[in-house]
Every structure is written in structure tokens, then in C-alpha cells.
Amino acid sequence: MRAQGNPALTWHGRDVTSVFDLLGRSENDLTAALAFALTRSPDFLHRLMKRLLPMAGRDVAAVRLETRDTGGRTDLEIDCGSDLVIIEAKRGWLLPSESQLGAYAPRVHKRGGGVLVSLSDTSLEWSARVLPSTIDEVPVVHLPWDLIRDDLVRQPVRPEITEVIVQRS
């Protein structure tokens, strides 16, 4: 059951209603647990959005996992109406390639604004040396998993969700 006011989470077009369906150790499992936490905690979602789109409002229409179009399949999308956040998650120190992120830039342009996000264990310093700051005029931001873990440890969403993300990422 979804808490009132929280955006719905779908995965491959199906509603996700329990974190226990998202347990696992793969890159996709971690991203799914993150998406579930974002849809269950407005404060956690707001903190993340402030990091990624500081000027955006609080309204999030949807959180989507593994959305496919002709440009490829995104790991996680946060739909804010006129802005679209596309998160490409990697496990470990890997970073997405510029061409992979670039394939998603048209989706952001179509929406009118947003950001392409790299999510991995790579440090901010290293990602700044490797990733471009923009791709086709769309901002590119790197988010280390450490920042996600810090947010969850400081203000846990729910114990079982926090445990999945903190211990497995």
C-alpha cells in the first residue's frame, strides 16, 4: 500500500509495493532499493532532488525503473513534470560512458530540463576528471553511493530499506 502523497514506483511496468521484492546484490537490485526508498520517504527524495536539481520544486510525479525507448534503457528516472532526472547507476568504481549518458540526453531535452546522473562508488574528484560537465547542453552530475549511504544513516527511511542499501552497496 502506497502512503498518501508518495509517488508510485513501477518496475518493468508493474507496481512495486514491498522492499522485499527488491532485495539483491546486483547493480539493478541496488538501484531498485534506492527507488523504493525514494518513493517511501518524501524527505529522502527531497534531499536527493536538492543535490541534483537545486532549483526544482518538491513535486515528483513518478519514479521509474528501467524505462526503455529508442535511446536505450535507463536505470532510474525521476519525473518532475517539466524536469527529468536520469540516473545511470554502476556498482563499484565504474562510470557510465559519455555515449551511454548521451543516448539519454534527448529525453531530457524533450522534457524541457533536467540532469543526467552518474551513480557509483567513484569519488567526486575522479568523476570530475572523467565525466563531462554537460552532454548536448544537459548537465551531468556524479553522485557517489557514499552520499546516499550518509543520507540514509543520518536519517533512516525505514530500517529494512536502509539496511539493504547501506550493507549491499
Higher pLDDT: 154 or 77? It is 77
- Mean predicted confidence (pLDDT) in 7-11: 81
| Triad 119, 168, 101: Cα angle to 5° | 20
Give the pLDDT band of residue 57 (cuts 50, 70, 90): low
> What pTM was estimated for this model as a whole?
0.78
In this structure, the strands spanning 134-135 and 138-144 are antiparallel
pLDDT value at residue 62: 87
Q: Does domain 9-168 have CATH number 3.40.91?
A: yes
Give the pLDDT band of residue 27 (cuts 50, 70, 90): confident
pLDDT value at residue 149: 84
